[in-house]
Amino acid sequence: MVASESNASVVLGVLALQGAFIEHIHILSTIPEVKEVIAVRTEEQLNSVDALIIPGGESTSMALIAERCNMLEPLRKFVRAKPTWGTCAGMIMLANEATGAKKGGQQLLGGLDICVNRNQFGSQKESFDTMLHLPDALGDEPFHAVFIRAPVITSVKSDTVKVIGRLEKKIGQTDPETIVAVRQDKLLATAFHPELTRDNRLHSYFVRMALEYKQ
C-alpha cells in the first residue's frame, strides 16, 4: 500500500500473520513521512522494509504461524538489526522472557531486555481504556490507550531499557506505576493498542525512529 505522496524515504512493514495488522496499515497510511506500507508475510517482504510493527493478536498463535511459515529466524534477525515496535502480543514476542504462557510455553523473538506477564488483566471482558502520559515520546498531551487482554512489563533487565509509560491508576489487581511502554535503542513496545484510536502520534514517533536509524 502506498501512503501519502511526499519526500518520505521510509518503508514500513506490519507483520500480517495474525492479529490486528490492518488497523496499523491504515493508520500508517495517514503519516506523510511513510512512503509505503507492506503487509509482511514472507522473508522477502520482511527484507524490503526499513522497520516493522508486530501487532496485537494472540502471541502463541502468531509464533506458531511464524514457525510454520519459516519466519521465526528471519524475524529474530530483523529485530536485532532494524527498528521494531511490538504492540500487545507483539510486545510479548519481543520480550526476552514471558510468564503466564500456555502449557508447553511459546516461541519468542526476544531482543528486548524485559520480562512480561501475558494476559495480566484477565479475559476479553476485562478489557479497558485509560489515559496515559508518555512525555518522553509524546510530550505533555495524554494518550488514549486501549488495553485488550493485555500484558504488562513485570521487570526491566537492563539499564538500556527506558520506561516511557506507566499505568496512572489501579486497574483490577494491577497497581499504578505498572510499566506498559518501553524503548530500548531501536525497539519499542507498548502493552496497549494505539492503532485502535484516531491518534497517530505513537505511530509518528515510531516512523521518526525508523527514519533516524535509516540515516
Choosing from 23, 33, 58, 195, which is the catalytic residue? 195
Report the distance separating Cα 24 and Cα 29, nearest Å. Answer: 9
First to last CA, the chain: 23
Report the distance separating Cα 122 and Cα 137, nearest Å. Answer: 28
Choosing from 23, 58, 193, 203, which is the catalytic residue? 193
Catalytic site residue 193?
Answer: yes
Q: Which residue reads 494518550 in cell numbers?
A: 143
Report the distance separating Cα 68 and Cα 46, nearest Å. Answer: 16
Question: Under 8 Å CB-to-CB from 48, ≥6 apart: which residues?
Answer: 11, 13, 38
Residues that are catalytic: 88, 193, 195
